[in-house]
Structure formats: C-alpha cells, structure tokens
C-alpha cells in the first residue's frame, strides 16, 4: 500500500488519543509569538480576540461572538460602527499579494446586530469589597473603568458634566454614524452592574475635587479632551467661525448652529468629517474639507472617506489656512498651498507653505476642527491633576496617591478603542493598588486544535462591501438615519470565511518528518522553510530563520507562522501526519480570589 | 556591470514617447514598457470620431508594433503592476513576476472619473476611454436615438459633436462638476451652454440626482429641476489618475503623483509624466494635472530626458489658461466646440 494511503492511526499512533486540556502561560515568549503571528489581536489596544469572535460568527454563534468582543472591548455594538480599526491595518489578508483586510469591524457589528434580542450579558461578578471609586466622566474610558471596577466589587459613582452619558460617543459622534439606542443599550449594560451616575456635575466647578477624594478610596479622572485647539490665525473670532467640537456638541444636543451655503472645514480627523457631513444635513450646499497634507495621509478609515465624498463633500489637499476674511461675519479663508517635506519627529511628513501661493476661498461658515486638548480638573488651590508618567507599570498614576487619570484626559485625543483599553487598564491599576491583588490578568491560552474546514477557495472571496443608504439624497430627508445598514447575516457569514484564523499555530514535528517536501510543494506562499538554524531572542521566542537551499545543511523543515495563511494544505498532504495545529490566543484569566 | 534597465509603466502617449526618447538618449540601455491594457497605443482623442464613423479603427492606433521592435523596446501588454517597491527598486506584477529597474517613468494615464455621489449609478452610464468603450457606444447607438450627457469635460464636447453628426438627439446636464478639477463659474457655464444650444443640444443646468432604468434602451434622468428621458446616458467627468496601485509605495499622491517641475517624484531616477503627474504651477497657485494628447507627449519627453541626465523644466503655455475664481486654469477646449 502506498505510504500516503496508510490509515492515519497507523502512521500516527496519537490520532485517536483524547483531546488535551488547555495550557495557560504568562511567559513573555508566548506573548511575543502572539504579537508576531496574530497581528490583529496585537494591534487592538483592548487585545480583542478577533479570530475567535470571527470563527464564532461563522459558526452562527452570534451571542458568543458578541460576548468574546465584550470581554475585551465592552461596547461591541458601538465599536462595530465607529472603531478606527487598527486591527484591519494589520490584518494578514491585507498583505501585499493577499488582497484586502478582513472586514473585522463589520463582523463585530454583525455579531451585535444578530445576537438574540433577549441576550443576557455574561459578566463575572465578585463579592463587594467595601471600597468606593469616583470616576469623573462617562465617556468610553470612564465607562470601561466603571465596568471593570464595578464587576470586581467596587462601588462606583460617575460624575458627568453633561446631562447624558457617553461623553464623545454621545456628544462628538453624529447619530447617522452611531444610533443613540445602540449606544444607550450598551451603556445600560454597564450601569446595570450597580454604577451610580450623577449628571450635570462638573468637578472642580460644581463640586470640589477634594470632596471626592475625601469620600472615595480613589478618584479616576476620565474627563476627556473638551477644550478646542485654535489655529491662532487672524479672524478666528469672527461670527460664522465655529470650533469642530462645539459644532458637534450643538448638533448632537439638538441645538445646531446655523450654517451658510458654502462651508469650509479645516481639519483632517473624524471630527472634521463628522462636521462636514453634519453641515450638509443642516442645509449647506457646498462643503469642503481642507487638508494640509493629502488624502493618503488621513487617519480616517477609507469607508468614511468614501461615504463623505459620496454625500458631496469635497476633499481639498495641500492647503494651509493663513487668516479668516470678513468684517461683521466670516466671508472666506485665505490659504497658501503646501508641499510635503521630509518625515519629522512625529513620524509624519512636514508641511511646508509655498511662498507666493496665497489665495482666498469664499465661505459663509468655517469650522475649525484642528484637535482638542484636556481642560484640567482643578483643585481648590487652582493646582490641577498631573499624570506622573504616561507608560509602564505606573501609567494612570498621578502626583496625588488617590488620584488616577485615563483615556483622552491622560493621553490627549485618541480613538474610542484606545480610550476603552486605557479605562480598563486604569481600573486594573486601581484594583491592584487598593487591594494588593489582581483579579484579571492577560494570559496566553494554548489548546490542541484540528485543521479547520477553511477552504483555499475562500481566500479569493472579495471583501464584502458595507451596504449604505442610497441614493445619497435619501440620507438628507431624515438626517438622523444611520447611513451604514450593516451586513445581512449571509454577507457577514461570507466575510467571516475570509479570516485566516491566525490564532491557529501550525508546526512540524521534526522527529517524525521524513523530509518528503510535499508540504512545500502545496504551500501557497513561502511559509514552509528549509532551515539551517532557528534564531531566538533572550526570551526564547523565535525571531527568525537561517534558510538554506543545500540539503546537507537542512536541520529542520519549519512553518513560518508569520507567513502562513492557515490554508491547511500542508497538513492534508503530509503522509506521516507530523504537522500539528494548536490554537494559541490571548485571553483574560479570571482569578476568583484575586490570586490568593 | 550590465546595461541600465529603464522601465516605463504605461503605453499611452506619454509612456510611448518617454520610451522613444530614452532609446534615443541611451542606446545601450534595456527599455521595457509595462501596460495593463491589452491593445497597442491608440489616440483617445480620436474615439468620438471613430464612433461617428469619421475615423477607421486603423486610424485610432498611433504606434504600430513594428516601432517597438525596431527601437528594441520590450512591450509587455496586459500585465498590471500590483506593487511598486521603491526601496528595492523593483516592480511586482499582478501575476507575481518581479521586475527590477534602474530608472522608472510612471505614465499610467487616467481612468474615467465618476463623482462619488454618482457611483451608485455607475453601471447605468457609459464612459469613453478605451477602444472597447467606443465599440460599446457604437453597439448601443445602433438601437437608440437619444443620448443624455452628464458632466462637461473635454471628451463630452467631442462626443456631443459626434452624436449630432449621427443625427442623435442630445441632452446635456451641465453642473458645477463640469471642468473638474477646477471649480466652474456661471459665466463659463453660460457661455458653454449657449454654444451647445446653438447646435441644437438641449442644455439642462443642475445636478444629476437619480437615474432610473426602465428598459435596456429607456432611461429616466432626474436632475434637481428637470426629468429627461434617453436611450443612453454618457458620463464625462474628466479622468482621474490611475494610481491606486501606488498607495503605500512612498510616492506622494494627491489627485496624481506629486512631482517637481522636472517631473521627479522625489526618488532618484523615478519620474512621472502625462495624466498621472501633478505639479505645482506658480502662475496657477495650484497643483496641476496636465491633460490632452499633446501635453502628454511633451511631458513624456521631458521625463525621459531628465531620467537620461537632462534638466528640463515643464511649463504650461499661458495662452491656454483662463481665470476662475482667481485661479487660472487650462480648460479652454469648450471654446473650440
């Protein structure tokens, strides 16, 4: 009988053995492996287990897919709509020659959309610890911290300056991108843990910070960045000139400012795009976003750019504003053309104004969306909260022993997912400082797996487009209507097929390998290597391979998991069944007694 | 050391001209043209006349294959570039083949632009860029007697003239998107509309809102002020540089590839020419994408000459500029209608 037709249990006596138990590790080498080989999870500030939730959705387990998300990022339905998607930038499917990244964010939204209407959140609750924490601000960072602290057994009270919760989610993002019932539903899922929230209280103004410190065991400042950055050019105070944040707060509060026919938005972030699209819904006819760099340098997602342009907003590149023109009201903006120089210290190309290129662009309304900064929460003696350090073990700590900071207040303007991750980490810091224990910790979970039912043909499925309200004119008839409609279940399933499931680790057992090279022949890219030597770092993690093409120097045939697309072809053709599959993923380990 | 390998991406007028100049300046170099198109170099400005029957298929093609053979220029047709790796100075083709280069001229031209708000109607509108597009127009015109043109670029006026010659009824939806990428003004619109109306074209000012297909040969076109019916809808919103494959390459890209007045991209030995190159023009106080067949030839020549060691500047002839909101632009083609 030919060797490749032998029954597998003859070739591999271990085929019929019982499934092994998972192993948990905190070895830095394992985390290093994950960073290299599961790029989406590493790119997510909240370390969301992306392959796991995509696989769960593929298996039609929507509730489970949603819960895998919620364990890490708390607000999946919200993030499925407004996340900046750092994971997609790193998705292996987006590497050169492999196509486009998986629609990770859209799948997250599908999990939220198709979970059971009566789905119950699963939150591990600890017994009350008898300690209280005050949180200033109910934005994504404050809410995430409240979730973790409350479920760990702390009494949490949030002090919110506005009359509704959500911070920037409620007041900075328009309803046509984030429906308020979705936001409130997920916020309610946090508040139901027993979190108290007091609205209309601006700490440092309506209430002394000292009083909070007296009444609570810790105070976490998650007050965001609500002071608008000005451009510092003449005419910025003219009527008709708005800051982006104030404009959005008025729009989302239901008291929008009047806008003229011609609107110029100066800025390049999500706020600038939200302002431009909101201006159209308020009746503007000609809206342009003026960029100092180019469209290619934008940090806004490609889908957002496309939708904004589809609605008729122009993107005008390589312009720097010099002054606002007008007497009693703004009438235009004087710009200079810019060119891009070498890469500066911030990692971005420098902007150089071209001399003699000044020109005026008329406008009835100008919106300056040039960024935000924090408004310091002050003590009675006018000192304000200073973070001691921005990174490392002591991140979130301040010069006051009971005072912590997180989110945009600590880091400056960031993204929703970064704020959530920061809020959770700050909560972990507070828990450890107040109890001396760790109730949650990230670990690497490893478990034997089988080759999946993924088919090679799925690698050629194109990225599924997000359906939107069309024709675009229909969007303006009901300005609050959500523009993105979400995948239908079939499309979500199709998109989920595209995920390579990089949490699967393929490995060749050298002791059993017969060097037949069948696996190399079927590999769709250079993922299986003949190596002379494996390079490791001081942690013992594999960092590279010294390849060879001379048989006499080959010491091993290895699968480079950073190149592997988990097609499973190698395993299917291996005549001696020497390739194993292990599921390796970062998860959060719950420690019932905080490690006692 | 072997001969330099000079690569031109694109086989339009700029690309072909660049290759010819390179051969002239560097007789010893290896020269390769890579084009995603399957057909030889044609003159896109002749396509409306081809549709009206005033030009034959043979007359469309500008450069016979014999030319490349004689000049020892390797022509690779139907091979799209997937990746440009400037660090390693190599090109990865769609079929994964790697081509190394010592010097490069990017002359990929443009593709028909559909404004983003109208993308949803893309499948209902005909564009005109390739010979294949022209053949589609000819097929469809055989069964319709009316056409609505939306937009207002160089080709729209030429195709309108061709359609009138064929005895078709023509409607023209004229909006501020005309003359893209420049902003249009009332004065220009009125003058252009008057010229069209004098030739019997029904001019409809306003924005296109919706297209409804009732059958293969009956479309309803709705603007913000009128409803029109026609058997075919043509979209003419200019060309947009076909540079999507260059995203992430390190080249600076706005509408096209940003180059200096010598058409250099900022990378040594890498130039751009034709409809895909964008250069700052001090007189216009704006970045400028040159359009038109003759301009493409001229830019191709300059890019190649500079790649071969020259130092020639590109300029825009001032007589072809007009003033729009304080910005002067070269969009005078409609005056010739």
**pLDDT tens digits, A360-414:** 999 999 999 999 999 888 877 767 666 554 445 557 888 889 999 999 999 999 9
In this structure, chain B runs to a length of: 337
Q: Give the mean pLDDT of A162-167.
A: 97
Q: Which pLDDT band, with edges at 50, 70 and 90, does A194 fall under?
A: very high
- Residue B326 has its nearest CB partner, among A294, A296, A360, at A360
Q: Is B253 on the interface with A (CB under 8 A)?
A: yes
- Residue A343: the pLDDT is 82
- Decide if A294 and B287 are in contact by the 8 Å CB cutoff: no
Chain A residue nearest residue B115, CA to CA? A310
From A469's Cα to the closest Cα of chain B, the distance in A is: 10
Residue recorded with tokens 């970062």: A586
Q: Which of B116, B117, B326 sits opposite A359 (nearest CB)?
A: B326
Beta bridge partners of B74: B32
**Cβ separation B82–A96 shorter than 8 A:** yes
A294 and B253 within 8 Å at the Cβ level: the answer is yes
Cα A54 to Cα A5: distance, rounded to the nearest angstrom: 34
Interface contact A310-B287, CB threshold 8 A: no
Cβ neighbours of residue B268 closer than 8 Å, sequence gap 6 or more: none
- Say if B322 is an interface residue toward chain A (CB within 8 Å): no
CB contact under 8 A, B247 and A296: yes
Give the residue extent of every domain in chain B.
5-111+240-320, 114-237
> Residue B320: what pLDDT?
47
Distance between B247 CA and the closest CA of chain A, angstroms? 8
| Helix or strand run (H / E) with residue A41 | helix A39-43
Distance CA B107, CA B57 (A): 24
Q: How confident is the model at residue A591 (pLDDT cuts 50, 70, 90)?
A: confident
pLDDT at A115 over 60: yes
Pair of tokens at residue A82: 């407004």
Q: Are A242 and A368 in contact (CB under 8 A)?
A: yes
Q: How far, in Å, CA of A433 to CA of A440, rounded? A: 14
Question: Average pLDDT of A151-157?
Answer: 96
Grade residue B324 by pLDDT with cuts at 50, 70 and 90.
Answer: very low
Q: What does the block give as tokens for A249? A: 């707060």
B114-237: CATH architecture: 3-Layer(bba) Sandwich (3.50)
Q: Judge whether B95 is closer than 8 Å to chain A, CB to CB.
A: no
Q: No. of H helices and E strands in chain A?
A: 21, 23
Nearest to A18, CA basis, from A447, A444, A452, A445:
A447
CB distance A312 to A306 below 8 Å = no
Question: Is the predicted pLDDT of residue B319 greater than 60, yes or no?
Answer: no
Please tell me if the domain spanning B5-111+240-320 has the same topology as the one spanning B114-237: yes
Q: Is the pLDDT of residue A497 over 60?
A: yes
Q: How far apart are CA A227 and CA B284, in angstroms?
A: 38
Q: CA B138, CA B143: separation in Å to the nearest integer?
A: 9
Report the residue of chain A nearest B118, measured CA to CA: A310
pLDDT band at A206 (very low <50, low <70, confident <90, very high): very high
**Which residues of chain A does B121 touch, with a Cβ-Cβ cutoff of 8 Å?**
471
pLDDT (tens digit per residue) in A261-307:
999 999 999 999 999 999 999 999 999 999 999 988 888 988 999 99
Give the distance from residue A526's alpha carbon to the nearest chain B alpha carbon, in angstroms: 13
- B122-174 tens-digit pLDDT: 999 999 999 999 999 999 999 999 999 998 877 888 899 999 999 999 999 98
> pLDDT digit string (tens) for A432-449?
999 999 999 999 999 999
Contact between A385 and A398 under an 8 Å Cβ cutoff? The reply is yes
Min Cα–Cα distance to chain A from B287, Å: 9
Model pLDDT for residues A326-359, shown as the tens digit of each residue: 999 999 999 999 998 888 887 788 999 999 999 9
**Residue B252 to residue A354, Cβ atoms within 8 A:** no
Residue of A nearest to B92 (CA): A97
**Count of residues for chain A?**
596
**Superfamily per CATH, domain B5-111+240-320:** FAD/NAD(P)-binding domain (3.50.50.60)
Q: How confident is the model at residue B287 (pLDDT cuts 50, 70, 90)?
A: confident
- pLDDT digit string, tens, across residues B35-85: 999 989 998 889 999 999 999 999 999 899 999 999 999 999 999 999 899
- Binning pLDDT at 50, 70 and 90, where does residue B275 land? confident
**Contact yes or no for B119 and A310 at CB 8 A:** yes
- B148 has which bridge partners? B171, B233
User: A165-169, A259-263, A536-540: lowest mean pLDDT where?
Assistant: A536-540
For B143-192, the DSSP string reads: T-SEEEEEE--HHHHHHHHHHHHTT-EEEEEE-TTTTTTSPP-HHHHHHH
Please tell me whether the peptide bond between A471 and the residue prior to it is cis, using omega within 30 degrees of 0. Answer: yes
- Nearest CB neighbour to A317, from listed B120, B210, B254: B254
Pair A266, A366: CB distance under 8 Å: yes
| Nearest one of A156, A303, A301, A170 to A216, comparing CA atoms | A156
What residues of B are in contact with residue A294 (Cβ under 8 Å)? 252-254, 258
Across chain A, mean pLDDT equals: 91
Average pLDDT, chain B: 87
Alpha helices in B71-153 (DSSP H): 131-141
d(CA A510, CA A528): 13
Across the interface, which of A96, A339, A359 has its CB nearest the CB of B280? A339
The pLDDT value given to residue B183: 57
pLDDT beyond 50 at A10? no
Taking alpha carbons only, the member of A163, A220, A514 closest to residue A387 is A220
- Provide the ipTM: 0.82
Greatest mean pLDDT among A5-19, B66-80, B230-244 lies in B66-80
For testing the chain A interface, which of B83, B221, B252 should be mutated: the one with the most A CBs within 10 Å?
Answer: B252
- Torsion sign, CA atoms B85, B86, B89, B94: positive
pLDDT range class, residue A5, cuts 50, 70, 90: very low
Which residue from A minimizes the CA distance to B223? Answer: A473
The percentage of residues in chain A with a pLDDT greater than 70, rounded to a whole number, is 94
Task: Return the DSSP state at A541.
Answer: -
| Among B119, B280, B327, beta carbon nearest to A354 | B280
Q: Which two tokens stand for residue A413?
A: 């303007």
Check if B280 contacts A (Cβ < 8 Å): yes
User: Touching check for B286 and chain A: CB below 8 Å?
Assistant: yes
Q: Domains in chain A, ordered, with CATH? A: 38-121+464-497 (1.10.1060.10), 132-226+374-436 (3.50.50.60), 227-371 (3.50.50.60), 504-590 (3.30.70)
CA distances to A471, A483, A586 from A480, in Å = 16, 9, 38
Task: Show Cβ contacts of residue A131 under 8 Å, excluding neighbours closer than 6 positions.
Answer: A153, A154, A155, A217, A218, A434, A435
Per-residue pLDDT of A31-86, as tens digits, reads 999 999 999 999 999 999 999 999 999 999 999 999 999 999 999 999 999 999 99
pLDDT band for B182, please (50, 70, 90 cuts).
low
Kindly state the tokens that stand for A93. 């499917």
Phi-psi region of A441 (alpha: psi -120 to 50; beta: other; left: phi over 0): beta
pLDDT at B120 over 70: yes
| Nearest chain A residue to B258, by CA | A339
pLDDT (0 to 100) of residue A7: 44
How confident is the model at residue B316, as a pLDDT? 62
Per CB-CB distance under 8 Å, the chain B contacts of A362 are 325
Task: Tell me how far apart the alpha carbons of residues B154 and B128 are, in angstroms, rounded to a whole number.
Answer: 11
**Is the pLDDT reported for residue A487 higher than 60?**
yes
Say what the pLDDT of residue B209 is.
Answer: 86
Per-residue CA distances from A266 to A225, A315, A324, B252 (Å):
19, 10, 11, 21
Chain centroid offset of residue B185 CA:
23
Top-confidence residue, B190 or B311: B311
Question: What is the reported pTM?
Answer: 0.87
Residues of A in contact with B92 (CB under 8 A): 96-97
Q: Are strands B277-281 and B257-259 parallel, antiparallel or unpaired?
A: parallel
């Amino acid at each position: 009988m030919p060797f490749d037709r032998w029954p597998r249990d003859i070739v591999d006596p271990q085929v019929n053995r019982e499934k092994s138990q998972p192993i948990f590790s905190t070895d830095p080498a394992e985390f290093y492996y994950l960073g290299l080989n599961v790029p989406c999870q590493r790119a997510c500030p909240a370390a969301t287990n992306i392959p796991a939730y995509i696989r769960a959705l593929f298996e039609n387990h929507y509730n489970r897919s949603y819960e895998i998300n919620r364990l890490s990022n708390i607000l999946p339905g919200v993030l499925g709509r407004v996340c900046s998607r750092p994971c997609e930038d790193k998705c292996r499917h987006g590497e050169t020659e492999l196509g486009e990244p998986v629609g990770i964010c859209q799948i997250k939204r599908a999990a939220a959309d198709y979970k059971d209407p009566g789905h119950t959140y699963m939150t591990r609750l600890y017994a009350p610890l008898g300690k209280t924490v005050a949180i200033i601000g109910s934005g994504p960072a404050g809410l995430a911290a409240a979730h973790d602290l409350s479920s760990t057994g702390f009494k949490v009270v949030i002090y919110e300056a506005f009359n509704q919760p959500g911070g920037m989610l409620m007041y900075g993002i328009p309803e046509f991108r984030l429906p308020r019932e979705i936001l409130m539903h997920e916020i309610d899922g946090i508040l139901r843990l027993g979190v108290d929230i007091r609205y209309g209280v601006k700490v440092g103004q309506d209430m002394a910070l000292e009083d909070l410190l007296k009444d609570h065991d810790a105070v976490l400042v998650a007050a965001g960045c609500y002071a608008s950055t000005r451009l510092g050019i003449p005419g910025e105070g003219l009527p008709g000139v708005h800051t982006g944040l104030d404009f959005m707060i008025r729009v989302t509060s239901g008291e929008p400012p009047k806008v003229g026919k011609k609107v110029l938005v100066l800025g390049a972030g999500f706020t600038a795009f939200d302002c431009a699209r909101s201006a159209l819904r308020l009746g503007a006819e000609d809206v342009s976003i003026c960029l100092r760099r180019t469209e290619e340098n934008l940090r806004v997602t490609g889908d957002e750019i496309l939708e904004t342009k589809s609605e008729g907003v122009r993107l005008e590149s390589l312009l720097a504003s010099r002054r606002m023109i007008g007497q009693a009201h703004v009438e235009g903006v004087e710009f200079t053309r810019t060119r891009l120089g070498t890469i500066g210290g911030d990692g971005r190309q420098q902007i150089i104004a071209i001399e003699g290129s000044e020109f005026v662009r008329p406008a009835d309304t100008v919106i300056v969306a040039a960024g935000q900064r924090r408004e310091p929460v002050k003590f009675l003696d006018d000192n304000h909260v200073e973070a001691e350090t921005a990174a490392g073990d002591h991140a979130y700590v301040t010069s006051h022993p009971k005072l912590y900071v997180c989110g945009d207040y600590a880091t400056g303007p960031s993204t929703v997912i970064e704020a959530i991750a920061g809020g959770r980490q700050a909560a972990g810091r507070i828990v450890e400082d107040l109890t001396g224990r760790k109730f949650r910790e990230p670990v690497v979970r490893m478990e034997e797996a089988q080759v999946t039912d993924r088919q090679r043909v799925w690698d050629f499925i194109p990225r599924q487009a997000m359906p939107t309200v069309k024709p675009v004119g229909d969007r303006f008839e009901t300005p609050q209507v959500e523009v993105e409609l979400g995948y239908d279940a079939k499309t979500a399933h199709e998109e989920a097929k595209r995920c390579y499931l990089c949490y699967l680790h393929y490995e060749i057992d050298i002791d059993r390998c017969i060097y037949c090279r069948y696996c190399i022949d079927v590999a769709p890219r250079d993922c299986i290597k003949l190596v002379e030597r494996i390079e490791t770092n001081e942690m013992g993690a594999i960092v590279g391979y010294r390849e060879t093409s001379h048989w006499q120097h080959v010491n091993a045939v290895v699968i480079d998991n950073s190149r592997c697309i988990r097609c499973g072809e190698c395993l299917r053709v291996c005549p001696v069944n020497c390739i194993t599959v292990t599921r390796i993923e970062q998860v959060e380990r719950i420690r019932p007694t905080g490690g006692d | 050391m072997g001969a330099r390998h000079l690569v031109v991406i694109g086989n339009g007028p700029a690309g072909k001209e660049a290759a010819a100049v390179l051969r002239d300046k560097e007789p010893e170099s290896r020269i390769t043209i890579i084009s995603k198109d399957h057909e030889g170099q044609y003159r896109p400005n002749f396509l409306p006349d081809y549709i009206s029957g005033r030009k034959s298929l043979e007359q469309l093609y500008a450069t016979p294959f014999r030319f490349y053979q004689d000049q020892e220029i390797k022509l690779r047709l139907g091979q799209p570039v997937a990746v440009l790796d400037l660090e390693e100075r190599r090109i990865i083709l769609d079929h994964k083949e790697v081509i190394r280069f010592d010097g490069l001229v990017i002359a990929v031209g443009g593709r028909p632009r559909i404004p983003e708000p109208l993308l949803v109607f893309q499948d209902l509108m005909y564009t005109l860029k390739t010979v294949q597009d022209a053949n589609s127009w000819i097929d469809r015109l055989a069964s319709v007697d009316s056409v609505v043109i939306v937009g207002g670029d160089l080709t729209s006026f030429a195709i309108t003239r061709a359609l009138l010659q064929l005895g078709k009824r023509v409607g023209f939806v004229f909006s501020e998107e005309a003359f893209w990428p420049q902003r249009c003004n009332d004065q220009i619109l009125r003058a252009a509309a008057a010229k069209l109306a004098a030739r019997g074209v029904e001019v409809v000012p306003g924005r296109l809102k919706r297209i409804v297909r009732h059958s293969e040969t009956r479309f309803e076109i709705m603007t913000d002020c009128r409803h029109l019916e026609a058997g075919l809808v043509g979209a003419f919103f200019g060309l947009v540089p076909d540079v999507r494959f260059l995203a992430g390459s390190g080249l600076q890209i706005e509408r096209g590839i940003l180059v200096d007045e010598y058409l250099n991209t900022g990378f040594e030995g890498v130039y751009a020419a034709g409809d895909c190159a964008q250069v700052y023009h001090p007189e216009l106080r704006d970045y400028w994408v040159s359009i038109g067949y003759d301009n493409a030839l001229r830019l191709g020549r300059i890019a190649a000459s500079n790649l071969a060691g020259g130092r020639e500047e590109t300029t825009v002839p001032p007589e072809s500029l007009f003033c729009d909101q304080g910005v002067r632009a070269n969009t005078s083609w409609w005056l010739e209608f």
